[in-house]
């Protein structure tokens, strides 16, 4: 599904990703943890194609295609979805309007017919109910004046509508109370299937009680320095990242050797 | 004076006597005085140049080079007007500045009187009203309009009359062999506790030559009146439009001017709201959509003369190509005008690197117990929002259009008369959005 090889990327001329390797197979859930500023959001932005995030070397192959060659909207068309760590507020465009444009743009990209209006309305209402969102939010401008939790829930609503093949969730659990966390998990788990994959970026092991990952990676200083199963998250929570620094220096020494 | 005047000033615009035009109502002392004072003032100040602070960024040499003549025919334009809108209005049509009964409705609703200015000037009924709203620091075009005071429409709304249908004044310029000028002058008097929507549009029908639409509308709102005045300026792309709207508000009134500037090559609007009675609200809602080499200059002034009034000004500009927009928003709070709450915003969106916007608030506050806020922005579409839409599968160009439409829509949303709001929404949808996402907003 996704193969990231020796990826280096810069933001504003500052190297952030420094030789990152990661492979995600269909049906897998990967969690990425790591200290603040280690490059987690940078990775998700690079995968979604955000302007200003410059890949200086390495490759990303997604479903046999060179992902880095595609425009952001083409990546969405190919089934990639990024739930933003900080969703943008867009006054003047309703959630409903944006989602309709999104659904139909993606269908057009795939040479499919537009979704009939009736079906769209029915689907979006179902999805809103599923993520326990008041239907009034559909008419409101995208994220405009939404609380932190409402914004995150809105990302999950969009994800449920767009049914991505590869979902990247950047700290969708941060700042959520337990009820909202359950809603987010419900949304993610509903999407789980043998041909879909997800990458969850998180600081909290708590999320992984609800969405059990196949792999947990530690990203530190622009590299994946350790990979394990869900127990790694428990260890990280208990012991912090200090021992990861050691791993990092070990990795460096090995590189130098 | 005439020969000297022509040489020193310009050949572009002539006073009525120089154009050998006999004006209606001439011979009445009050009216003769009004006109001659304006003519003298026009000669004294002369047409503005970029050396005048208020015209520094608005160069009218292009206009001065034209040889304009006044057009006195008023052809039947009903066919062209038929498809203009699909909702019901009481329509008054001014063709080339002249009130045209043929083109106008003959059904005037109860509680309103509608009369051509030329006819009204036969007696002294407008004495003390006509010209009463004009500011002393007005520019020469306004004086030229007053000096002409030839025709236009006078609308009087009776006390307590609540008009269901809006009154629509359509300024039509028709084709001529050479460049033409019209100086329509309108007067709207809203009686106590009356309520009305008044739409003023300017359009052209087959006007292939340059023309100057130099119009002035005076609005007088008596105690408790509520008015929404919409100005939809849709002149030909080669037109000059110079428009003044001057509003005097008595106590407990609410008058909102919506100034939608779409057409014209060189446009200057002066919109003044005089809050003269306590408990009043003055609203100014503006939209400029500039493209090609259009130049649009909006000069607004809200004067809080008495305590306990509110004002809210909201102007937005979208500029593409090499277009240019100037915004000057003056707010005066007189010494006695305590408890004033005045707000002003002017946001400019530049879609092209050749477009240019210039925005300046001018606050003159002499009272101490006031809330006065203002803010202006000039910028491009937010890259974060663009990427957000793209990441959802929306093409970059579509995302740009969606965001532009959203920007524009914030002004259109403030139009309270729904059919006009829908008309403009549909129009901007058509102009700004590709078919594939238009229906999203339907
Ligand atoms: N636009 C930018 N200009 C300069 N530096 C940037 C920019 N964006 C991110 N960075 C830097 O890149 C580094 C990695 O940032 P990133 O957002 O990827 O971290 P993160 O792992 O997601 O952190 P967090 O856990 O706090 O979300 C940080 O040092 C950050 O300051
Ligand atoms: Mg982050």
Q: Is the pLDDT of residue B1 over 90?
A: no
* pLDDT higher than 80, residue B227: yes
- Ligand 1: which of A11, A152, A217, A220 to mutate, judged by most atoms within 8 Å of the beta carbon? A11
CA distance A205 to B125: 83
Q: State yes or no: pLDDT of B5 exceeds 50.
A: no
Query: How many residues belong to chain A?
Result: 257
Nearest residue of A to residue B406 by CA position?
Answer: A92
Predicted confidence band of residue B153 (pLDDT cuts 50, 70, 90): very high
What ipTM does this complex have? 0.95
Residue B213 neighbours by CB under 8 Å, 6+ apart? B171, B173, B181, B182, B184, B202, B235, B239, B240, B241, B242, B243, B264
Q: What is the pTM of this model?
A: 0.87
Cα separation, A140 vs B305, whole angstroms: 38
pLDDT, greater one: B442 or B35: B35
Which residue's C-alpha comes closest to atom 18 of ligand 1? A39
In whole angstroms, what is the distance from residue B37 CA to residue B15 CA?
12
In this predicted structure, what is the pLDDT of residue B428? 87
Q: Which atom of ligand 1 is nearest to the CA of A203?
A: 25
B415, β-bridge pairs? none
What pLDDT, on the 0 to 100 scale, is given for residue A243? Answer: 76
Q: Which band of pLDDT confidence, cut at 50, 70 and 90, is reported for residue B438?
A: low
Q: Give residue B2's pLDDT.
A: 41
Q: Ligand 1, atom 28: nearest CA belongs to which residue?
A: A37
Give CA–CA dist B172/B213, Å, rounded: 9
User: Quick one: which of B278, B238, B277, B243 has its CA closest to B257?
Assistant: B243
pLDDT classification of B8: cutoffs 50, 70, 90? very low
Atom of ligand 1 nearest to the CA of A42: 18
User: Residue A117: its chain B contacts at CB < 8 A?
Assistant: 439
Determine phi and psi for B175, rounding to 5 degrees: -70, 150
The bound ligand whose nearest atom lies closest to the alpha carbon of A34 is 1
Chain B residue numbers touching A72 (CB-CB < 8 A): 387, 390-391, 396
> Residue B384: which of A49, A75, A88 has the nearest Cβ?
A88
| pLDDT (tens digit per residue) in B251-271 | 999 999 999 999 999 999 999
pLDDT at B203 over 50: yes
B440 or B400, which is more confident: B400
C-beta atoms of B405 and A100 within 8 A: no
Please enumerate in sequence order all residues whose Cβ is within 8 A of that of B163, keeping only pairs 6 or more positions apart, or say none.
B90, B109, B111, B112, B157, B194, B195, B196, B197
Contact across the interface for A90 and B437, Cβ inside 8 Å: no
Per-residue tens of pLDDT for chain A, all 257 residues: 999 999 999 999 999 999 999 999 999 999 999 999 999 999 999 999 999 999 999 999 999 999 999 999 999 999 999 999 999 999 888 899 899 999 999 999 999 998 998 999 999 999 999 999 999 999 999 999 999 989 999 999 999 999 999 999 999 998 888 988 999 999 999 999 999 999 999 999 899 999 999 999 999 999 999 999 989 988 888 888 877 777 667 766 665 54
The ligand with the least distance to the CA atom of A169 is 2
d(CA B148, CA B24): 10
Q: Which helix (H) or strand (E) holds A64?
A: none
Is the pLDDT assigned to residue B219 strictly greater than 60?
yes
d(CA B154, CA B151): 9
Pocket of ligand 1 (CB under 6 A): A 11-12, 14, 16, 34, 36-42, 85
Cα separations (Å) of B60 from B8, B52, B184, B359?
16, 12, 20, 19
d(CA B77, CA B56): 38
DSSP, residue by residue, A88-137: PPEEEEEHHHHHHHHHHHHHHHTT-PPPPHHHHHHHHHHHHHHTT--THH
Q: What is the pLDDT of residue B313?
A: 98
Q: Do B407 and A90 touch (CB under 8 A)?
A: no
Dihedral-angle region of residue B19 (phi above 0 means left; psi in -120 to 50 means alpha; beta otherwise): alpha
pLDDT digits (tens, 9 = 90+) for B338-374: 999 999 999 999 999 999 999 999 999 999 999 999 9
Mutating to test ligand 1, I would choose from A16, A83, A85, A221 the residue with most ligand atoms within 8 A of its C-beta, which is A16
DSSP letter at B55 equals G
Between B183 and B433, where is the model more confident? B183
pLDDT band at B6 (very low <50, low <70, confident <90, very high): very low
Q: What percent of chain B has pLDDT over 70?
A: 95
pLDDT tens across B43-76, in order? 999 999 999 999 999 999 999 888 898 888 889 9
Tell me: pLDDT of B189 over 70. Answer: yes
Indicate yes or no: CB of B436 within 8 angstroms of CB of A98.
Answer: no
pLDDT of residue B139: 95
């Amino acid at each position: 599904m996704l193969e990231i090889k020796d990826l280096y990327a810069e933001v504003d001329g500052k190297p952030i990703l420094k030789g990152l390797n990661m492979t995600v197979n269909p049906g897998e859930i990967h969690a990425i943890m790591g200290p603040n500023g280690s490059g987690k959001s940078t990775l998700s932005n690079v995968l979604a194609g955000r302007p200003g995030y410059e890949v200086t070397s390495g490759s990303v192959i997604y479903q046999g295609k060179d992902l880095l060659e595609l425009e952001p909207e083409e990546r969405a068309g190919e089934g990639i979805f990024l739930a933003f760590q900080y969703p943008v507020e867009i006054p003047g465009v309703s959630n409903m309007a944006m989602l309709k444009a999104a659904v139909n743009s993606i269908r057009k990209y795939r040479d499919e017919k537009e979704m009939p209006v009736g079906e769209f309305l029915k689907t979006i209402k179902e999805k809103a109910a599923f993520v326990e969102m008041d239907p009034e939010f559909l008419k409101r401008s995208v994220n405009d004046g939404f609380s932190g939790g409402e914004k995150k829930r809105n990302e999950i609503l969009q994800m449920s509508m767009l049914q991505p093949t590869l979902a990247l969730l950047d700290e969708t659990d941060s700042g959520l109370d337990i009820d909202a966390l359950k809603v987010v998990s419900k949304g993610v788990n509903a999407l789980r299937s043998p041909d879909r994959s997800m990458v969850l970026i998180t600081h909290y092991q708590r999320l992984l009680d609800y969405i059990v990952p196949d792999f947990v990676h530690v990203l530190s200083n622009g590299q994946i320095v350790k990979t394990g199963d869900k127990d790694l998250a428990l260890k990280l929570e208990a012991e912090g990242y200090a021992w990861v620094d050691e791993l990092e220096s070990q990795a460096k020494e090995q590189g130098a050797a | 004076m005439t020969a000297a005047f022509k040489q020193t000033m310009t050949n572009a615009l002539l006073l009525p006597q120089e154009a050998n035009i006999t004006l209606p109502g001439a011979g009445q002392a009050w009216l003769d005085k009004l006109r001659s004072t304006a003519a003298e003032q026009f000669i004294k100040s002369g047409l503005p140049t970029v050396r005048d602070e208020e015209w520094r960024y608005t160069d009218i040499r292009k206009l001065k080079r034209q040889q304009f003549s006044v057009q006195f025919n008023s052809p039947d334009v009903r066919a062209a007007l038929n498809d203009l809108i699909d909702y019901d209005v009481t329509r008054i049509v001014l063709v080339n500045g002249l009130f045209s009964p043929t083109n106008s409705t003959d059904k005037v609703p109860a509680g309103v009187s509608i009369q051509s200015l030329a006819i009204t000037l036969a007696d002294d009924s407008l004495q003390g009203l006509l010209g009463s709203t004009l500011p002393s620091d007005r520019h020469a075009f306004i004086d030229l309009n007053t000096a002409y005071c030839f025709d236009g429409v006078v609308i009087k709304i009776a006390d307590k009359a609540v008009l269901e249908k809006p009154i629509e004044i359509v300024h039509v310029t028709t084709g001529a062999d050479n460049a033409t000028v019209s100086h329509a002058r309108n007067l709207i008097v809203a009686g106590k506790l009356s309520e009305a929507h008044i739409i003023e549009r300017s359009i052209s029908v087959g006007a292939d030559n340059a023309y100057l639409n130099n119009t002035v509308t005076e609005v007088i709102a008596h105690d408790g009146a509520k008015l929404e005045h919409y100005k939809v300026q849709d002149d030909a792309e080669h037109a000059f439009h110079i428009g003044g709207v001057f509003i005097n508000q008595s106590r407990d009134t609410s008058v909102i001017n919506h100034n939608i500037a779409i057409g014209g090559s060189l446009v200057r609007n002066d919109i003044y709201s005089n809050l003269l009675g306590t408990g009043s609200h003055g609203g100014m809602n503006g939209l400029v959509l500039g493209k090609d080499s259009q130049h649009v200059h909006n000069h607004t002034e809200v004067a809080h003369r008495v305590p306990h009034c509110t004002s809210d000004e909201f102007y937005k500009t979208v500029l593409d190509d090499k277009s240019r927009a100037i915004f000057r928003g003056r707010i005066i709070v007189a010494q006695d005008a305590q408890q004033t709450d005045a707000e002003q915003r002017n946001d400019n969106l530049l879609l092209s690197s050749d477009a240019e916007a210039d925005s300046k608030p001018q606050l003159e506050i002499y009272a101490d117990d006031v809330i006065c806020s203002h803010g202006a922005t000039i910028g491009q579409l937010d890259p974060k929002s663009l990427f957000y839409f793209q990441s959802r599968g929306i093409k970059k160009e579509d995302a740009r259009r969606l965001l532009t439409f959203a920007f524009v829509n914030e002004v259109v949303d403030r139009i309270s008369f729904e059919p006009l709001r829908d008309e403009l929404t549909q129009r901007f949808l058509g102009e700004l959005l590709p078919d594939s996402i238009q229906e999203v907003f339907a």
